[in-house]
Structure 1
């Protein structure tokens, strides 16, 4: 019977081409708008480190004198606190992180010095976050301890300085210091750059930079302190006196983040106790002049707290799906007009023995066919929407794409939406009284 219903649906669509085109257009535009915004939302809300994110935690404590004004600790720590927690080695892996803006002086002739984003970190950073290497590898803990003049380059910076060749063993000059390249990253761009997501709640949810490219330069933390501590950012200081930016490790300023890998529940509970004990110890000696204020969030909890999905993307997604609902209501009206307009035909079929269930099924098949056609055109509008998004001036624009699951979701949504929209018109059509229609005839 489905084949017969499909044949009848095709004949009906050909008879009312204009009405069919309006319904297909309504569904296609609604699907295109909703799937375009959904693809952006899916991109921004994805797991940045699948299979491992539930083992990564971001401990926090409050080193400043203004803790009574906050309900949660500062996003970053002062260097002394971060180093104390890191050097205790209470986790499977631990990584301190601090950002800076440095200047690179190319050794090749014809290239001018330029600024480059830099991350000072510790050796566990690379295995902890599954950072891929194209050439070489990370520095060792022993090299880090002696503040070795070593550096890891991003693939983009290696392409700019060395034409993409294997530059391990070559020298680069950063902030006037000559450093030896020990590794070059492969293509790596976590979404977002979760390891330095800080401050977004205090900046009105401006999180676009978290979806941009990764840092160009990775330095061992002691080396970064030696050559770039005056360039560390962001930082928050709480001293009434002048800040000595050349000795940031001893200044009352928060500028270092700490990540720990804790694979078991026992390890997490142990580190939480250690964090609380450290805070109590520092308060007992007068370094933390405030009540206890500590916290340890998982990677997902930290991203949710920082509200890394831009507020305008959430709003656009809600508006797009609201627009889809409006399109479906319009489709309901058009289907109702179409089916009721065929009351005479339906009355004759009912008089000839067709059941209400058969009429209802035929109308639903026709609604599903309209939805399928609308879904195919909706895919075209989705592709056009994604292309338009990729030209927007936002950091994540080049990451937006259309994939097979999105295509399947769009088709399923179009078919399901059209069937839902067709239920009431089909029900009304199946209730047409055959005797009344025959009398009119």
Structure 2
């Protein structure tokens, strides 16, 4: 019967080409607007490290003074250097990494290249395995090299291409801030979106090109970036070991819920110890959030993207209302035909199914046209100056969603018209013929 319903739908389309075109256009416009905004939202709100995000936690402590204290408020978003190095030394997680952003001067040995500044990340050794960072050549440094303040570095694939024409540069020397570093690894393509590990930077922009041990960066007093918040006078060095300033991000990997609970208890005990020692003044206030919880807390998806998403669905709803009216007009105009079918033995449910198949066909055609409009809309998004704009691409999942949403929307729009059509009384229609 489904094939027969398709045949009837195609005949109906040919008889009412203008009305059919209007309905297809209405569905297509709604799907185009909705899928453009939904795709952008999907890209920006996705899991940046699937498979591992459930075991990675961001650590927050509250080392600030009582000045301006309000009970129940959120603790500092970053750690002091003392706390970060102490947690790293006590090593209570499966893996853990402290880090901060910075900027270094790169002096190329390659002829024709002049020195330039490059974004950098100062981190501890577990950064690479914990975040599942892929390597093209070599690997990251070890905890022993962290402790030895070794002058080693890992560079990005793009920087390796720029400096060494993409060749294996492991073991070569790279001059950073007037100091020589040995390259131990070259990253493969790696761009988690958003950059969850540091919410103090452009989370949708370019990633760092140079990675080196945090301990080495402090020895050489390399330029740091990102946010720094001090509650007392740090004197001449806000990044010193005992400076009353928070500026370091700290992540820990905990592979089971039991380990996560044990680590929360550990942070609570650590805070109590620091308060007894006189370093902390405020009551114990710790947070331990998973990756997706941390992104949600920081409202990583721009508010204008959320607004556009609601507007897209609103426009689709308007288009569906118009489609309902057009389908009602189309089906009721065929009351005589429906009455004849009923008189020849078709049940009300047969009429209902026939009308829904026709509505689904309109939705499918609208989805095809809407896909083209979505691609055009995403192209327009990529032309915008926002840092996330270049990420607006339709993946396979969203491609399938386009057609599923189009057909589902048209079927929903067809329910009322199909129900009205199935109420047609055959006797009255036959008498009027």
Q: Report the TM-score, using the length of structure 2 for normalisation.
A: 0.95
Task: Give the one of 163, 166, 177 matched to 1:175.
Answer: 177
Q: CA deviation at 1:313?
A: 1.2
Structure 1 counterpart of 2:375: 383
Structure 2 counterpart of 1:16: 16
Query: For the residues of structure 2 that align with 1:74 and 1:402, how far apart are their CA atoms?
Result: 37
Structure 1 counterpart of 2:33: 33
Q: CA deviation at 1:84?
A: 0.8
Structure 2 counterpart of 1:4: 4
Is residue 154 of structure 2 the alignment partner of residue 161 of structure 1?
no
Task: Give the one of 347, 350, 374 matched to 2:342.
Answer: 350
Q: CA deviation at 1:120?
A: 0.5
CA change 1:177–1:341 in 2 (3 A) is: same
2:54/2:291 contact within 8 Å kept: yes
Note the 1:229-268 alignment, pairs <5 A.
229-240=222-233, 242-245=235-238, 248-268=240-260
Query: For the residues of structure 2 that align with 1:109 and 1:169, how far apart are their CA atoms?
Result: 20
Q: CA deviation at 1:125?
A: 0.8
Q: CA deviation at 1:365?
A: 1.5
Query: For the residues of structure 2 that align with 1:221 and 1:432, how far apart are their CA atoms?
Result: 78
Structure 2 counterpart of 1:295: 287
Query: For the residues of structure 2 that align with 1:361 and 1:269, how far apart are their CA atoms?
Result: 55
Q: CA deviation at 1:243?
A: 4.0
2:6/2:358 contact within 8 Å kept: yes
Structure 2 counterpart of 1:76: 78
1:243/1:251 contact within 8 Å kept: no
Task: Give the one of 186, 207, 218 matched to 2:211.
Answer: 218
Structure 1 counterpart of 2:272: 280
1:80/1:250 contact within 8 Å kept: yes
Is residue 106 of structure 2 the alignment partner of residue 113 of structure 1?
no
Report SS of the residue matched to 1:96: strand
CA change 1:142–1:241 in 2 (3 A) is: closer
1:67/1:290 contact within 8 Å kept: no
Is residue 315 of structure 2 the alignment partner of residue 323 of structure 1?
yes
1:175/1:228 contact within 8 Å kept: no
Name the stretch that deviates more: 427-436 or 173-182. 427-436
Name the stretch that deviates more: 9-18 or 162-171. 162-171
1:119/1:219 contact within 8 Å kept: yes
Deviation string, structure 1 residues 115-166 (Cα, Å, up to 9, x no partner): 2111100011111111111111111211211111111101111112212111
1:100/1:233 contact within 8 Å kept: yes
Deviation string, structure 1 residues 300-338 (Cα, Å, up to 9, x no partner): 211111111111111111111111111111100000011
1:229/1:248 contact within 8 Å kept: no
CA change 1:241–1:46 in 2 (3 A) is: closer
Name the stretch that deviates more: 125-134 or 5-14. 5-14
Q: CA deviation at 1:67?
A: 6.4
Q: CA deviation at 1:358?
A: 2.2
Structure 2 counterpart of 1:203: none
CA change 1:428–1:88 in 2 (3 A) is: same
2:103/2:222 contact within 8 Å kept: no
Is residue 124 of structure 2 the alignment partner of residue 122 of structure 1?
yes
Q: CA deviation at 1:392?
A: 2.4
Query: For the residues of structure 2 that align with 1:114 and 1:234, how far apart are their CA atoms?
Result: 23
2:324/2:414 contact within 8 Å kept: yes
1:67/1:73 contact within 8 Å kept: no
Query: For the residues of structure 1 that align with 2:385 and 2:225, how far apart are their CA atoms?
Result: 27
2:355/2:414 contact within 8 Å kept: yes
Structure 1 counterpart of 2:60: 60
Query: For the residues of structure 2 that align with 1:160 and 1:226, how far apart are their CA atoms?
Result: 28
Q: CA deviation at 1:349?
A: 3.0
Query: For the residues of structure 2 that align with 1:308 and 1:358, how far apart are their CA atoms?
Result: 50
Structure 1 counterpart of 2:150: 148
Query: For the residues of structure 2 that align with 1:105 and 1:164, how far apart are their CA atoms?
Result: 17
2:5/2:354 contact within 8 Å kept: yes
Name the stretch that deviates more: 260-269 or 101-110. 101-110
2:138/2:186 contact within 8 Å kept: yes
- Which structure 1 segments of 5+ residues have no match? 199-206
Q: CA deviation at 1:233?
A: 2.7
Structure 2 counterpart of 1:42: 42
Query: For the residues of structure 1 that align with 2:424 and 2:262, how far apart are their CA atoms?
Result: 71
Report SS of the residue matched to 2:137: strand
RMSD over aligned Cα, in angstroms?
1.8
Query: For the residues of structure 2 that align with 1:93 and 1:43, how far apart are their CA atoms?
Result: 28
Name the stretch that deviates more: 139-148 or 393-402. 393-402
Structure 2 counterpart of 1:202: none
Q: Report the TM-score, using the length of structure 1 for normalisation.
A: 0.93
